[in-house]
Structure 1
């Protein structure tokens, strides 16, 4: 292989790594946005059902994890942001379930 061929191969390899980094960052941001929006929507539902009163631990755990997810995303740390948003969504689901059960029990 000639010197020119090696330089071209090195350039292609470097360009590929830059492209891969750019695409990975974009995907992380997109995945974070989807997860955070879902968690935020569920947290709003939990709030509307009175989860602050009926499931305070779950509600506030979801709220704080969503806040931390947003903080991590602002620092472009999308891996951690997604993890925090996932936990927020999980606890928002639990808060919704508990609040609904409390409403059902009150209607008896």
Structure 2
């Protein structure tokens, strides 16, 4: 029984790291996911940071919205492949993660 639990935990960890594509995020609203894709631009406004994937705003396919920037300089992710962990929500028909649990290079 222990071996089955360990194996399923390893399989879950491996698939969670791989993540889903930004274009597939719309199909997972309400779920906790790892979403990975190419950062098109990073927009900072006062206490808010928007990380837009695949295309610049307003044509982005996915957004990471940060209201409490504990992540440091998020501009370092521009033009890089990045993953973000969190619950998927939708704003104006665009999937997003608000204040992700993690943001990291893919």
Scaled by the length of structure 1, the TM-score of the pair is 0.32
- Pick the structure with more helix per residue: 1
- Pick the structure with more strand per residue: 2
Higher relative contact order (CA 8 A, sep 6+): 1
Q: Which has the larger radius of gyration?
A: 1
